[in-house]
Structure 1
Amino acid sequence: MKKVKYLVYGAVSLLTLVTPACSDFLEEEPLDLKTDGQFWTSDTDAESAVNMVYYSGVPYLYGGRNTGWQPTRLMYNGLLSGLFTDDKKDGDFSANMETMNVTFQTVANEVGEIWREPYVSINRCNVIDKRLPEMVASGIISEERKNELLSQVYFFRAWSYFFLVKEFGCKDGEAQDGGNGGVPLVLEPYETTDPDVINQPRASITAVYQQIEKDLLAAIDYLPNKTFADNGCRVTKPAAQALLASVYLQWAGYPLQNTEMYEKAAKMAEAVINGTAGHTLETSDDSGENQMSAFNKVKNDKTSKEIIYAIEYEQSLNRDNPYINACLTNQATAWTEDDGSKVFATSVLANMYHASDYILDSYVEGDVRIKEKNFFFTTYTSATGKEFHCNQYDNWFWYEDYAMINSKGSSLNFPVFRLSEMYLIAAEALLKQSTPNAAKARSYVETVRKRAFTVNGVLNEGYSLPATITIDDVLTERLHELPLELKIWDDIRRNRLYPQLQSDNSLKWVDITTAQTYNKRDNKSFKENTHMLLWPIPLSAMERNPNLSQNPGY
């Protein structure tokens, strides 16, 4: 990676990511370290500051990991659920997930980063929020330009706070000191090291959600109403709406159970579905290995209009998608051609996010999503035509030929929001709002499910959907539609429901306190461990900030 310089206090990181065109990516171009007064003197400075936040905070955590052999930070929740496993088990973290040995000591390093990195991004956003109005007052940028840039900043600040409140937020009164259950709510830049200023206590969890909502509504007012690709792979109005729909849905569920938010979640998701930006669902022209299924288009086509927002990667610019290391088991590093040459040059390879059989077996025959080389794969044919067999279902959605053969980083983007998810958010919210609209909810699930069973315009005979759907149908569809997009733990957390595979291979979602939890040693379960639905506040953070109180159960 190229060297990145930044100021921690009083100024923003000076990483410049220029060129809004998607094809040119967000290129890194470090500037010399300047004083605060030297930096905020041009439109280029303002844009450089905003571009920097695209790869800090939650976007950073998508790729952050200890080593190439270990899961990325955002795989942690799926591993804790037991629905996904780390076959390599390199280091202590994955073992702790299997034994449910989660304390602030055992997960200190991993949890420390998922607490720290969002606040790094938040402080950068706060600096920009303060400096841009000053640049308007000085005549450096226009009011319109300020709003254009701040709308992006508010998106990322909201995203960081949403991540933090999901991972660490409990009900007010449930923290160990009986105080607030949110996270410190900081909206001004840290321009001092004075502990009385920077050591903020936990805010009310409702106040944190309200600030997230405020930021996203402000962003929606000014962001362009375009698709992700048409906007140069930058934040759009539909992206902010999609994030806010997710926020409302989580806000409505546990731990707050503010059920009034279900109606807001449905309306915001429908604003994307019915919007005029141009988002559409991909269709499957063929389910074979020509990669023209809807899900291969989403994977391979950076201009796909189904993608609402994605983490953008480009190997040629040293922005590598790290999920290439998790697409196959290590067995594949030993595959050789008939002449003895290795099929893949890469040596760091492990299926560290392996979907369990409980997920794989629950797909219905005829569903394109479980067919070979859509989300998963079991065979690989090399350039010479030699066929190799995986020893399990591996992750095709993260696989890229060029990267594997040449031992390079992958350039595949990582989808954060897709249009199909908006249909499923709307369906869940419509089922759970005070006056349910089951018929409309069913129509949204039907749209997603029919797409998954349709090839070349023909609906597979295996397709079915009950006349009246339940939350089981919606959550199962989410799991089948988004298996490798790291959504499962949020679904479990807000509903307190856990999937159980039935004798007919359907999934029944039951109370997590009574569920049989998969892939845990010694029959461990969440029955006595519901506190693990949240991570502990890291000890390092509590040592630095004595005003923090620990989450319940830790």
Structure 2
Amino acid sequence: MKFKIKQYAACILIVGLSLTQVGCKKYLEENIKHGIGQDEYFKTETQARNFVNGIYTSLYMFQSGDAYGENPWITLELLAGHGTTLGQSQNNNNVIFERTDANNPSFNTIWRQSYLGISEANLAIQKIPTIPSMTDAAKKSLLGEVYFLRAFFYYHLVRLYGDVPLITEPVDANSPQLYPERTAQADVYDVIIADLITAQASGLAETDQTGKVSLGAVNTLLASVYLTTAGYPLQKTENYAKAVTEAAKVLNKYTLFDSYDYLHDNQHKNQGELILQNQYLLGVATNSISALIIPYGLDVGSYHDRFGALIPTDEFYNSYEAGDKRAEEQQFFFSKYDSYTNPGTTINFGAHALYKYFHKESLVNGQCDENWTLLRLPEAQLIYAEASNEVNGPTQAAYDALTPIRARANLAPLSGLTKETFRAAIWKERYHELAYENKAYFDIQRTHQIYDVKNNKFGEATSTANEQGVTMTTKYYLWPIPQREINTNTKLKQNTGW
């Protein structure tokens, strides 16, 4: 399924040297295992399409991990402070209590898989324009997907690790970029923005229901980038206005589901409010999402195990407003379910688990092919509201962006707020609507505020304790450079405190 590529000591994966496995038809459906040299590849549009399909598979990095749920999705949520782990993972407990180190497997997974995707994107950007049988329009559109993917990977790298090596061309064994130095965050963001602007002009479809990048995904990601760069550490506040512009392009292109169930079933993959998802397919690529969120060892479904790797804290669950539909049983959360081996018997969890990720289709066969959502409409709506408030205060348009989200949750629209109270309301809505979607930790980074759910307010991240009684230390604004990278490339210097 993935490209197997020779890895050099610097741990920057080099596509330019060997290609042993090309991309998957429709991203998931074809697995070609015979070796194909670079000189024989990139001759036809089909080859180019297959290669680009293969770049998408690096997005699996969020669910990549071992049997105890030690994967980046879980790590990001535990660092945000609103989750516990009822499983067996020492690494996950070390993350919760901020005693982890640069050997944490999640830190390495994101680094490795992101640079794999980037290396493949760089090769595609170099080779696709040389294919004589492709029309210019086909080349441009396909490259639009590639530029988005490269931007997506760099966006995660720069937020998680800070200054990172910026590589925009294929690397071979003689390249000076084989052992790269770190590049300033501002320069990395310049490339991210440039890539997304290029993707905007590539002729991509407004929306896509096959799992491919669309113009809607490009605009949403660019809005997110502008919102992030307006906050810490760059504080380019002029980018709030740019975030408004980009988010506005998305608001009328997608439609909110009328049922929260559609966020995690198979029938509604890539539809409605889902702007971009990571694709899974039974028999081709599966994941452990559903098993990870079931409390440890309980008899729910036929999964090989139930890990309890990510369980919301009671305090976070109780922070939802009275009457909020999302807090009702089997909406975003559930506290009980029928026994799998003893039908008719109800199992009480003793906790509020994440029904938001519960995949009914996999209960019988134990094989979860639930898609992982990367971008959806409520995020664009919330970006628009927040950025607009920073530019102009609480306008009606900003209120209107939140109203559909709140209406679906059976909550009244907001009105009459000051800029400061509206900002806090938007941040709270982000936590509640985008709960456990890998947004909260990045919000902490860019705002330097955490959601103090016990007191229903926001406080300085490094002086406000979370539900576990942990107060974030400054070094946790960034992840460490993985230790294996430090060991093999002496030009890489570790982040402060790690």
TM-score (norm 1): 0.83
Q: Which residue of 1 aligns with 2:41?
A: 39
Residue 10 of structure 1 aligns with which residue? Answer: 16
Instruction: Report matched runs for 1:410-449 at 5 Å.
Output: 410-433=368-391, 435-449=392-406
Alpha-carbon displacement from aligned partner over 1:84-115 (angstroms, at most 9, x marks no partner):
1111142x3123223311333xx443322222
- Asked if structure 2 preserves the Cα contact closer than 8 Å seen for 1:50 and 1:128, the reply is yes
- For residues 201 and 213 of structure 2, the distance between their equivalents in structure 1, rounded to whole angstroms, comes to 13
Mapped to 1, the partners of 2:72 and 2:245 lie a distance apart of 31
- Please say if 1:63 is aligned against 2:63: yes
Equivalent AA in structure 1 for residue 269 of structure 2: K
Change (3 A) 1:249 1:101: same
Q: 1:166 to 1:93 in 2, by over 3 A?
A: same
The match for 1:337 is none
Deviation at 1:441, TM superposition (A): 2.2
Distance in 1 of aligned mates of 2:24 and 2:459:
48
Residues 69-84 of structure 1: pairs in structure 2 closer than 5 A: 69-84=68-83
The match for 1:101 is 99
| 1:320 is aligned to 2:263 | no
**Letter matched to residue 488 of structure 1:** A
C-alpha contact (below 8 Å) 2:71/2:105 kept by paired residues: no
Query: Structure 1 359/189 Cα, relative in aligned 2: closer, same or farther at 3 Å?
Result: same
1:311 corresponds to 2:311 = no
Residue from 454, 457, 464 that aligns with 1:508: 457
Answer yes or no: is the 8 Å Cα contact 2:61–2:110 preserved in 1.
yes
Q: Determine the structure 2 residue equivalent to 1:538.
A: 482
Q: CA deviation at 1:404?
A: 2.6
Q: Which residue in the other structure is 1:550 paired with?
A: 494
Quick check: 1:381 aligned with 2:334? Answer: no
Q: Deviations over 1:189-219 (max 9, x none)?
A: 012255x342221112111101000101111
Alignment of 1:243-262 (within 5 A): 243-262=221-240
Per-residue CA deviations over 1:208-260 (Å, capped at 9, x if unaligned) read 1010001011111124333231xx22110001111111111111111111111
Please say which of residues 376-385 and 344-353 is displaced more in the overlay. Answer: 376-385
Q: Between Structure 1 and Structure 2, whose CA radius of gyration is higher? A: 1
CA distance, structure 2, for counterparts of residue 30 and residue 6 of structure 1: 14
Report if the CA contact (8 A) 2:270-2:276 is conserved.
Answer: no
Residue from 467, 492, 497 that aligns with 1:518: 467
Number of matched pairs: 484
Q: Percent identity?
A: 27
Would the aligned equivalents of 1:245 and 1:268 in 2 still touch at CA under 8 Å?
yes
Say whether 1:152 aligns with 2:141.
no
Matched, 1:124 2:120: yes
User: Counterparts of 1:323-402 in structure 2 under 5 Å?
Assistant: 323-333=289-299, 344-381=301-338, 384-402=343-361
Contact 1:15 1:49 in 2 (8 A): no
- C-alpha change, 1:259 and 1:327, in structure 2 (3 Å) is same
Asked if structure 2 preserves the Cα contact closer than 8 Å seen for 1:297 and 1:304, the reply is no
Q: TM-score, normalised by structure 2?
A: 0.91
Aligned pair partner of 1:189 in 170, 175, 180: 170
SS in 1 for 2:129: helix
Distance in 1 of aligned mates of 2:394 and 2:465: 31
Give the corresponding residue for 2:11.
none
Give the counterpart letter for 1:359 in structure 2: F
Q: List per-residue Cα deviations over 1:26-50 (Å, max 9, x = no partner).
A: 3132141122111222222111111
Question: For residue 420 of structure 1, what is the amino acid of its counterpart?
Answer: P
Could you tell me which runs of 5 or more consecutive residues in structure 2 were left unpaired when the two chains were aligned.
7-13
Distance 1:13 1:242 in 2: 32
Give secondary structure in 1 for the equivalent of 2:250.
helix
Cα 1:298–1:375 change in 2 (3 A) is same
Query: Is the 2:264–2:359 contact (alpha carbons within 8 Å) kept by the matching residues of 1?
Result: no
Residue 185 of structure 2 aligns to which amino acid in structure 1? I
1:241 pairs with 2:241 = no
In structure 2, relative to structure 1, the CA distance for the partners of 1:145 and 1:419 (3 Å cut) is: same
Does the Cα contact within 8 Å between 1:311 and 1:413 map onto a contact in 2? yes
CA RMSD of aligned residues (A): 2.1
Q: Is the 8 A contact 2:86 2:296 kept in 1?
A: no
Instruction: After TM superposition, give the deviation of residue 497 of structure 1 in Å.
Output: 0.6
SS of residue paired to 2:363: helix
